Amino acid sequence: MRILIDMDDVLADTSLKILNETNKRLGTNFTREQLNTSPEIYKEYYEKYSTVRGMLWEKGFFADIPLIQDAQEVVQKLHAKHEIFIVSAATEFPLSMDEKLEWLDKYFPYIGWSHTVFCGHKWMIKADYIIDDHEKNLINFEGKGLLFNATHNQHVKEFTRVHSWKEIETILL
Amino acid sequence: MRILIDMDDVLADTSLKILNETNKRLGTNFTREQLNTSPEIYKEYYEKYSTVRGMLWEKGFFADIPLIQDAQEVVQKLHAKHEIFIVSAATEFPLSMDEKLEWLDKYFPYIGWSHTVFCGHKWMIKADYIIDDHEKNLINFEGKGLLFNATHNQHVKEFTRVHSWKEIETILL
């Protein structure tokens, strides 16, 4: 079985880095709990974040993203049984790609450049499953989509939502 | 119809840059004509080139590759009628990817990051055609493969060989 795994907000807690950097750059004190429980505060945060969004294109931004809990353990188990490709919509951020390869080598060294894909769209990649936090990457995908739960995808209803790597383990292993 | 187009030695004359750089770094005078007509000289060249192959990982190497003849004109015509993805096995060369995006923006500005893919393998990408100079990228590919003629693929017999972008134009348009 072939499984495509997204990076940002699936393997890497990119939203947390963005939250911390937004707070740091704007002197704000938004917390993840606030964003997850109050749509009004999330809206206010998102407007403020939009003013510093250019940081995503800065060199170094993607070098030190924290890991999502249990991702290392479960991906290694999946890799032992299935064909795994890491598929990240990273071509929008030209300086991110060598940082993302280094990040993967650090935490998932058995994947390697040969099974890493950086792209814009993902619909033309053929696989049995995709694990992704963005609806746009599940729509038109030929296999089954697992929507990795995130603050920004709460409105999406059509796909199987997974809240953790432990939950993915029970579905795919 | 969806068409995947490789970069190195299909859109970009990477072999020419490698030949010129090898000559420059080793003080040799190999010519493309020699490599195309004498297997012995090609073998000698390839052994020498192997000693400086590390240059492919240097920053800047992929920034200034010359264009392949007629690629701009024919790709633009293909793009007007078909869904085009540029698919380059570039993840092996981490520093090449932002240079490749800039190169594409310069010569093929209508493609953009959304239709650019950097990967190791290509077999899992679904399309009607792939235009590529490497046999490994045509084997296991689900659609039809067009092998772009190159010195290094003369031994390959199984695929439709194309010698120029004008020839591709007559096949696909």
Domain count along chain A: 2
Residue (of A165, A103, A99) closest to A131 by Cα position: A165
- Amino acid type, B12: A
Q: Cβ contact (<8 Å) for A97 and B94? A: yes
CATH number for the domain harbouring residue B74: 3.40.50.1000
pLDDT given at position A50: 98
Angstrom distance (rounded) from CA B6 to CA B129 = 11
In this predicted complex, what is the ipTM? 0.96
Q: What is the model's pLDDT at position B48? A: 98
Contact B97 A94 (CB under 8 A): yes
pLDDT value at residue B40: 96
The arithmetic mean of pLDDT across residues A93-97, rounded, is 98
Range of the domain at B40: 14-57
Instruction: Supply the pLDDT for residue A22.
Output: 98
Distances B110 to B89, B105, B142, B166 between C-alpha atoms, Å:
21, 8, 26, 20
Helix-helix angle A71-81:A165-172, to 10 degrees: 20
B83 and B129 both lie in a single domain:
yes
The pLDDT value recorded for residue A115 is 98
Distance (Å, whole) CA A171 – CA A147 = 13
B8 plus B32 within the same structural domain: no
Residue A24 and residue A75 in one domain:
no
Whether A9 and A46 map to the same domain: the answer is: no
Cβ-based neighbour number of residue A76 at 10 Å: 13
**How high is the pLDDT of residue B100?**
98
Tens digit of pLDDT for each residue in A39-51? 999 999 999 999 9
Verify that A41 and A84 share a domain, yes or no.
no
What confidence tier does A107 reach under pLDDT thresholds 50, 70, 90? very high
Q: Give the position of tokens 């990408």.
A: B125
Best residue in B95, B119, B137 to probe A by mutation, most A CBs within 10 Å?
Answer: B119
Give the nearest partner residue to B118 out of A85, A97, A126, using CB atoms: A97
What does pLDDT average to over chain A? 97
Reported as a single tens digit per residue, the pLDDT across B88-128 is: 999 999 999 999 999 999 999 999 999 999 999 999 999 99
What's the confidence (pLDDT) of residue B18?
Answer: 98
B-chain residues near A118 (CB < 8 A) = 91, 97, 117-119
User: What pLDDT digit, counting tens, does each position of B43-89 carry?
Assistant: 999 999 999 999 999 999 999 999 999 999 999 999 999 999 999 99
